[in-house]
Structure 1
Amino acid sequence: MSDIRKTEEKGFPRVKPATDIVEAEDGFYIYMDMPGVSKEALVIDLNEDEIKVSGRSAYPAPDGEKLIHVEFGNGEYYRGFTLSHIVDKSRIRATLKNGVLELHLPKAEKAQPRKIDIQMG
């Protein structure tokens, strides 16, 4: 798989999670497939116009069993996105349910038009 890289510090494979991005009237929704990641192992960082999502899944080795082939295992998910200026960064919400992370990035309130007063000089 081309999206898997070993993380240098821990030796876990790093995976770019499958992601869907949907635009709705109220904002953008990002859905990320992150099976095995708990809320405690999930980190979402917002810095300026960039949001970074990382999470770690850990599966304990079975006692007294010999693993012959492993595709399920410890892993680290990572994905970063650049946000548009129309996203209201102060109202971003995240929900993790059944191995799927949902990020809601609401659109900023549109600037209200206003009349310009004309001064007599």
Structure 2
Amino acid sequence: MSEIVKNEERSPARYRPATDILEREDGFHIYMDMPGVRREDLNIDLQDDELTVRGRTSLTPGQDERFAEMQFGECEYVRSISITDIVDRDRIKANLASGVLELHLPKVEKVLPRKIEITAG
């Protein structure tokens, strides 16, 4: 008697990327580790007060290659961050380099600290 194994599509492992968030005078700088994620496999969505980052790795061997062993495999990185009204949503920028996603969330102009000039009277 032969056993039939059902071939199910497996979803990749999901990870929350290591993240550093720094607040500076010009806004918030967020750094996320996303090794193996290409720019075309990265989505950044802003909905209401939630910024969601999704990145997916894809490992496809070349034509004359095959995996002898695979421990890292395909995976998905997902991280959501709540943002407040002090973030200028229209000026958010993202850059992906060397497996690190850098997001810059600038503060709205009215929230930026400013120096008050003192005049002699």
TM-score (norm. length: structure 2)? 0.77
* Identical residues among aligned pairs (%): 52
Instruction: Give me the whole-angstrom Cα distance separating, in 2, the residues matched to 1:58 and 1:51.
Output: 23
Taking the aligned partners of 2:68 and 2:77, their CA distance within structure 1 comes to 26
Provide the residue aligned with 1:44 in structure 2.
44
Structure 2 residues without counterparts, runs of 5 or longer: 1-8, 112-121
TM-score of the pair, normalised by structure 1: 0.77
Name the CA shift for 1:65/1:55 in 2 (closer, same or farther; >3 Å). Answer: closer
Aligned residues: 101
Q: Which amino acid aligns with 2:83?
A: L
For residues 1-121 of structure 1, what are the structure 2 equivalents within 5 Å?
Answer: 10-61=10-61, 63-67=65-69, 70-110=70-110
Quick one: distance in 2 between partners of 1:21 and 1:32?
Answer: 9
Letter in 2 for 1:16: R
Unmatched segments (≥5 aa) in structure 1: 1-8, 112-121
Question: Residue by residue, what CA displacement relative to the aligned partner does 1:12-65 show, whole Å, maximum 9, x if unpaired?
Answer: 000000000000000000000000100100000011111100010111247345
**Structure-2 separation of matches of 1:91 and 1:108:** 9
Greater Cα offset, 79-88 or 53-62: 53-62
